[in-house]
A and B are shown apart, each in its own frame.
Chain A
Amino acid sequence: MGKADDVTVLLLMVILLGLSAWAFHSGRRQALVLSNGRARTLHSLPEYYGFYLALCCATPALGGFVVWAVFEQQIIEWFTIAAISPGVRLDDPAKLDLLLNDIRNLANGNIISRAVDPDLQAAADYYLGLRDLSFVALAAGMLALSGAGVVLGWVNLKPAFRARAWVEHFVHFVMIGCSVIAVLTTFGIVMSLLFESLRFFQMVSPIEFFFGLEWSPQTALRDDQVASSGRFGAVPLFAGTLLISLIAMCIAAPVGLMAAIYMAEYAPVRLRAVAKPMLEILAGIPTVVYGFFAALTVAPLFREWGAAGGFLISSESALAAGIVMGIMIIPFVSSLSDDVITAVPHSLRDGSFGLGATKSETIRKVVIPAALPGIVGGLLLAMSRAIGETMIVVMAAGLAANLTANPFQAVTTVTVQIVTLLIGDQEFDSAKTLAAFALGLLLFCTTLVLNVIALYVVNKYRERYD
């Protein structure tokens, strides 16, 4: 689709909106006409008859548009393939895809990968013609559907028609549909990850993936090249992810926790009013900015310090990425901990003070233990965020899969590999591309388990003091 299509689709939508407004107006007027000007004899307020007719007008047309948007491409391509003259026709699906791509590009006026022969040009022209035709069909279909909807709705329009109930039921179902979208999203994520991962595991054995110590996904172009198969052992990636996440937690956990304690227990009201939003700014900064900070400020700084101290720190060291990630997570830990610390009832503190404990003793021996489940839950959530964090590591961590626990060396992470595998050309039949989905599935499962445990712990704790 191009710009022209954008405008025409928008125009179509505006027309539909206008038609619906007209339907609303005439539905309302018709209801008043039917009641002979005595609106009290109607079942519902006249507006509801208007809404009813407007919905009758818009819904079928919108439904038709969605169906068109989803299936248009496939149907046109199917027709194009069927129409390609036998000389060009190919049975190999991969080559067919390539051919279709060329036809599409030629039709859009882009540069294509082969010489333009008359057959191809004819196919492209045919393709363009089909697209125009399909758009005209869409416009006509939408008008017809909305017209039919209005006519059908009009027939039902009687003073005894329960328009309000009908409209409310309709809205109710729309709302249920909207709520289910969240479930559908999860379902879509799981299905797409599972489906592509299964294809991956047909090419690479799961044992190699889960226990292999070597990761070099470069598959060779020719069969006789070195390392032609590629190695897909994910252990170094997970080790790298864990290393960076642990460094991040080493920064974020103590700093975030102590900041939360100070804010909740010690800080004067005015300091709290200033410092808390400032910490929240830290949470609102896009991760790509942290990545820039890590790659261009922190990492070179560490390398210089290392050089001055006489030992080698890689310019893509796990330390730099981990520390910056830790800074990013501080507000996350501190706001979650702040919530649970303030939720600890005051009677516990008063009891401790009454026994002569100092404030810090009260906090360490009474408040923290009471808030511990919530704090642990918060830390788990923070950990899951660190594991799934992408941009900082993409920009500041390495690409080579080193299996090491040395924070001064470069390591790579799961998210970095997903990004590098999927940026650039993708072929959905190579193990290299599909490996990204297997990694994604693992990432999803890991964070899901952490989140479920964390939410469970936090919720269980909340019930006790509410």
Chain B
Amino acid sequence: MTDRSTKSAKVAASLRRRHAAERRFRLYGMGAVAFALACLGLLFFTVVSKGYTAFQQTYVKLPIYFDAGDIDPKNSGDPKVWAKANYQGMAKKSLRGLFPDVKKRRDKRALYKLASSGAAYELRAIVRENPDLVGTTTDVWVTADDDVDMFIKGYIRGDVAENERRISNKEMAWIEALVADGRLEKRFNTTFFSAGDSREPELAGVWGAAAGSFFTLLVTLALAFPIGVAAAIYLEEFAPKNKLTQVIEININNLAAVPSIVFGLLGLAVFLNFIGMPRSAPLVGGVVLALMTLPTIIIAGRAAIKSVPPSIREAALGLGASRSQVVFHHVLPLAMPGVLTGTIIGMAQALGETAPLLMIGMVAFIVDIPGGFTDPATVLPVQIYLWADSPERAFVERTSAAIMVLLGFLIMMNLTAVWLRKKFERRW
């Protein structure tokens, strides 16, 4: 009897231990999922909290006297003469007028820096659009310097020692005076969405990079989609099961796992040095990314074609269709949603890819917005990389904002893929 009771006591004790282990194991699992999701949350939180301020930009209202004598001294009415006038000087004069007691040269220079160096172009554009303003004094909103912007947004704090911040006490006093006057205001940052890159954070925008991404992806899509679909059809429907087909299949699987930077080396050695295609061009970037996304599209395409049931093929064959007709009239249309989903996912991958494009020179500093496939261009992820490397504080928020733009595009593409899958998914 005692023997039995000790045994059951032992079992009871071990059961407690085993159940505790069970709970622990389960907890580890929950912890792992929670950790991964927390990382995702932290990542998004960091990007959004660092970047949302970039959608606003500080502008300063300056009373500008558009001096007819400066703009068009000979009264020629020629827009070329107007374009060459000293608008920077007008902005400076206006700032001097606002703070007449600034006398020292060094102080004056600091004062001029309150407005961005891009203010001159803004004034020029205003004059071009409203020639009637010449000869009048008008209040004009121009972009403020990035340091002012950072101060207004609270990234440069006033309670730090003066020599440790980029805004001196004098500049702070000016800024406060301007704020009290209602001459300094945060507004929606249109520059960020309409400009190309710039050395001045307040003048830098993502539009140039977005256009570059657009042209690059267009090339990628134009190459990778038809080639990928054709290869998927051939391998799934026509290819004889022989050594060559096997080699191709192994090759595609391996190619899908080759580091992306190696594709960049291929592009550099073959497309730039051997064929002599232009550097930094969306054309080359698109070709390299197409080679990189090809395996993704082929693999997804094959899966989609495979999921079309054989009965469809047999029915078509039975009605006298040729094998090509079976594939192109029946199988391919039914497999299209799956193929498109795979293509969109491949394109999303290509949109986020950076490393191979660094190799083929798409990392250059490019101010102009590209207008074609052979113009020098950069793409969104490379722009993010370039800005993340810039020392100015104002580029941190712009980098985060650019990331938000990029993630926005990616989420849109992925949602489209999910929608396509949900809408056209068929259970046979």
List chain A positions with a Cβ less than 8 A from chain B. Answer: 1-3, 5-7, 70, 73-74, 164, 168, 171-172, 174-176, 178-183, 185-186, 188-189, 192-193, 195-196, 254-259, 261-263, 265-267, 275, 278-279, 281-282, 284-293, 295-297, 327, 330-331, 334, 358-361, 363-364, 381, 384-385, 387-391, 394-395, 415, 418-419, 422-423, 426, 428, 436-437, 440, 443-444, 447-448, 451-452, 455
Contact = CB atoms under 8 A, between A and B. Distances in A.
22 contacts: A2-B374, A6-B375, A73-B275, A168-B322, A168-B324, A175-B233, A257-B32, A286-B410, A287-B355, A288-B382, A289-B47, A289-B403, A330-B39, A331-B36, A381-B257, A384-B259, A390-B261, A391-B355, A419-B261, A443-B261, A444-B259, A455-B250
B276 A390 contact: no
B384 A178 contact: no
Given A259-B32, A390-B261, A415-B355, 8 more contacts: A174-B230, A262-B30, A287-B352, A293-B43, A330-B39, A385-B259, A451-B257, A451-B258
Closest CB pairs A-B (n = 9): A388-B259, A262-B29, A286-B352, A192-B269, A258-B32, A360-B25, A6-B372, A175-B234, A390-B355
A289 B43 contact: yes
A385 B382 CA distance: 20
Interface in B133-158: none
A179 B234 contact: yes
Contact of B265 (A181, A331, A418): A418
A390 B388 contact: no
B238 interface: yes
B291 A275 contact: no
Contact of A259 (B36, B250, B258): B36
Given A5-B374, A261-B29, A286-B353, A291 B254 contact: no
Nearest to A272: B33
Interface of B: 18-19, 21-22, 25-26, 28-33, 35-37, 39-40, 42-43, 46-47, 50, 226-228, 230-231, 233-235, 238-239, 247-248, 250-255, 257-263, 265-266, 268-270, 273-276, 278, 291, 294-295, 298, 322-324, 348, 351-355, 358-359, 363, 371-375, 381-382, 384-385, 388-389, 396, 399-400, 403, 406-407, 410, 414
Given A186-B255, A387-B259, A455-B253, A437 B269 contact: yes
Given A178-B227, A258-B28, A297 B46 contact: yes
Nearest to B41: A278
Contacts of A330: 36, 39
Given A168-B324, A255-B32, A179 B248 contact: yes
A286 B354 contact: yes
Contacts of A1: 278, 374
Nearest to A173: B234
A426 B269 CA distance: 12
Nearest to B254: A451
B355 A292 contact: no
Given A258-B29, A291-B385, A390 B372 contact: no
A360 B354 contact: no
A391 B261 CA distance: 9
A281 B406 contact: no
A395 B385 contact: yes
Of B33, B42, B250, B410, which is in contact with the most chain A CB atoms at under 10 Å from its CB?
Answer: B33
Contacts of A188: 266, 270
Given A296-B396, A360-B22, A390-B260, A7 B32 contact: no
Contacts of B262: 189, 193, 388, 440, 443-444
Nearest to B252: A182
Contacts of B363: 423
A73 B279 CA distance: 14
A6 B373 contact: yes
A192 B288 CA distance: 14
Given A259-B32, A262-B26, A422 B359 contact: yes
A9 to B, nearest CB: 9
A178 B225 CA distance: 11
Given A192-B270, A388-B262, A415-B259, A183 B43 contact: no
B265 A428 contact: no
Contacts of B400: 292
B18 A358 contact: yes
A359 B25 CA distance: 9
B201 to A, nearest CB: 15
A185 B255 contact: yes
Contacts of B33: 258-259, 262-263, 267, 275, 279
B294 A182 contact: yes
A331 B26 CA distance: 19
Contacts of B381: 286, 288, 391
A3 B373 CA distance: 8
Contacts of A265: 29
A192 B298 CA distance: 24
A284 B29 contact: no
Nearest to B389: A395
Contacts of A282: 36, 39-40
Contact of A436 (B265, B270, B278): B265
Given A263-B33, A360-B25, A448-B258, A437 B265 contact: yes
A73 B40 CA distance: 48
Contact of A384 (B47, B257, B399): B257
A176 B240 CA distance: 11
A289 B384 contact: yes
Contacts of A444: 258-259, 262
Nearest to A326: B39
A245 to B, nearest CB: 12
Nearest to A426: B268
B258 A447 contact: yes
A456 to B, nearest CB: 10
A106 to B, nearest CB: 16
A436 B39 CA distance: 34
Contacts of A360: 21-22, 25-26
B268 A289 contact: no
B174 to A, nearest CB: 31
A391 B354 contact: yes
Nearest to B356: A390
A183 B239 CA distance: 15
A297 to B, nearest CB: 5
Given A179-B231, A292-B384, A192 B265 contact: yes
Contacts of B384: 288-289, 292
Nearest to B373: A6
B96 to A, nearest CB: 36
Nearest to A454: B257
Nearest to B414: A284
A182 B32 CA distance: 38
B379 to A, nearest CB: 10
Of A6, A174, A290, A363, which is in contact with the most chain B CB atoms at under 10 Å from its CB?
Answer: A6
Contacts of B35: 255
